Amino acid sequence: MSEARERPEGQVADAVRGNWVDRLAPPATRPYLRLSRADRPIGTWLLLLPCWWALFLAAASEGTGIGAGELWLFAGAAMGAFLMRGAGCTWNDITDRDIDAAVARTRSRPIPSGQVSVKQALAWLVAQALVAFAILLTFNLPAIVLGIASLATVVIYPFAKRFTWWPQVFLGLAFNWGALLLWTAQTGQLGWPAVLLYLGGISWTLFYDTIYAHQDREDDALIGVKSTARLFAQNTLAWLRVFLIATVCLLGLAVLIALADASILALVLAVAGVWGMGWHMLWQLQQLDIDDPATCLRLFRANRDTGLIPALFFAVAALL
């Protein structure tokens, strides 16, 4: 009870303690920023990191280094990830408002708690999407087409848990689209390394979002919402090992194909980044307790570092 009293007015239950939205943002903007999950930045990272994987690996493959064009793609991806993650979360909260009201962890979100109306949320969704589209228009035409095509995955995802036990696959399809987009924005065409990064990212999403979904396993069962956490149950660790291996193998194959003609040092660095990611995922498995929601949330958030490891190694390989 004392923790609830200390929580700032309107703060979402699973928001990061002391986040900038609840401390610094003007009060009138806070409900909208909460809709965008600006108080929970991990989702932006998880959407952004596959973009950076593809950008840096493509730059390393081309041997062009990192110049002004790459820096703009780097920054544009970051801004676009923030905006599209916000638009996607707003859409998710609109479609899930009745479900969120029935789940303890999510009933404090802006729509079910009454901070924002559905019409206001729709207007906010459109505003974010339009700014993101303006950034997308600075990319090349093939990347623009891919960016528009990604909207199909964003629209479908919130409904997936109503008709499949594998909604995490649909999240992976949406969250890793940036690997296809940024590879194409850098090289001008889609390539097999980008496809393999995309598939590896989907496997990674199945890994981290299954951990995340174990927080809501009991509530989901009561209201009939499906998830891989409910599907795997006590077999979760075995499934997560499969996703770990698939992630490392797919990203490793992407590196081998992309850097087949690159220097040995660049290849070794990129492979080391993939192995580092795998070791970080293994560390998570050693820490995991699927019956402890706090541990599940902590490990889910740790995946920012998981994805940063290959991104940093790919960036160094590109600089070489």
DSSP string, 178-195: HHHHHHHHHHSS--HHHH
Q: Residue ranges of the domains in the chain?
A: 16-319
Q: Is 291 helix (H, G, I), strand (E, B) or coil?
A: coil
Residue 167 C-alpha from the chain's centroid? 14
Whether the CB-CB separation of 52 and 182 falls below 8 Å is answered with yes
Q: How far apart are CA 73 and CA 266, in angstroms?
A: 21
What is the reported pLDDT for 114?
A: 87
Q: How far apart are CA 108 and CA 309, in angstroms?
A: 33
pLDDT tens string, the chain, 320 residues long: the values are 334 445 567 787 777 778 888 888 898 999 999 999 988 899 999 999 999 999 999 999 998 888 999 999 999 999 999 999 999 999 989 998 888 777 777 888 889 888 999 999 999 999 999 999 999 999 999 999 999 999 999 999 989 988 999 999 999 999 999 999 999 999 999 999 999 999 999 999 999 999 999 998 888 888 888 999 999 999 999 999 999 999 999 999 999 999 999 999 999 999 999 999 999 999 999 999 999 999 999 999 999 999 999 999 999 999 98
Pick the CATH number of 16-319 from 3.30.200.20, 3.40.50.300, 1.10.1740.10, 1.10.357.140: 1.10.357.140
Q: Is 108 helix (H, G, I), strand (E, B) or coil?
A: coil
Whether the CB-CB separation of 251 and 270 falls below 8 Å is answered with no
Whether the CB-CB separation of 134 and 83 falls below 8 Å is answered with no
Q: Which residues, in sequence order, are CB contacts of 45 under 8 Å at separation 6+?
A: 303, 304, 307, 308
Here the tokens at position 89 are 């979360």
Whether the CB-CB separation of 186 and 56 falls below 8 Å is answered with no
